[in-house]
Structure 1
Amino acid sequence: MLIQPYHLYVERVDPDRNMARFYTLAIEPTLFGTPRLLRRWGRIGTLGRTMVHHFEPEEDAVALFLDLLRERRAHGYRARHTEALKGG
């Protein structure tokens, strides 16, 4: 059983390079109660690709979540700004 929810959505946008990418991470319980890490990535506006990792201890799922977060930030991914959500 998960102690707390883990959800992340980050984007990398560079109009000069025609780049608009998203990356999502979420740790969720399976039907059997074991944790899984769900990854989705692709061009903004598409469904993108999906990869699922299954774990026995939740700590392993959290460790991979944090490693992937560091990796994405190192590649320029950032949380979407609230001004962009409001349209201004």
Structure 2
Amino acid sequence: MLLTRRDDARNMARFYALDLGPDLFGGTVLSRRWGRLGTQGREIREWFAQPAEAETARDLWLKRKLGRGYRTGD
């Protein structure tokens, strides 16, 4: 899921990406990437034993970023 935030007055063009995927041991990985649009950005990964835990964490980050002005589908 890709979120973007743009504000020309502040010279701001950012992205935040949230992805869920399986790991090699049957768990689920939440990958979060962020940075300025047009760059590779930074990435952090969190491992969860249960898919439901990873989905809850993803939904929490999504809510936080939407509250800070990020939007989907730009």
* Bigger CA radius of gyration: 1
| Structure-2 residue corresponding to 1:47 | 40
Number of residue pairs aligned between Structure 1 and Structure 2: 74
Structure 2 unaligned residues grouped into runs of 5+: none
* Structure 1 runs, 4 residues or longer, greater than 6 Å off: none
What SS does the aligned partner of 1:32 have? coil
Structure 1 unaligned residues grouped into runs of 5+: 1-7, 82-88
Larger strand fraction of residues: 2
CA distance, structure 1, for counterparts of residue 25 and residue 49 of structure 2: 11
Question: Which protein has greater RCO, CA pairs closer than 8 Å, 6+ apart?
Answer: 2
| Structure-1 residue corresponding to 2:14 | 21
1:9 aligned onto 2:2: yes
Q: Normalised by the size of structure 1, how large is the TM-score? A: 0.81
1:60 aligned onto 2:58: no
Q: Percent identical across equivalent pairs? A: 41
Shift of 1:79: 1.2
Aligned-residue Cα RMSD (Å) equals 0.8
1:37 aligned onto 2:45: no
CA distance, structure 2, for counterparts of residue 64 and residue 49 of structure 1: 18
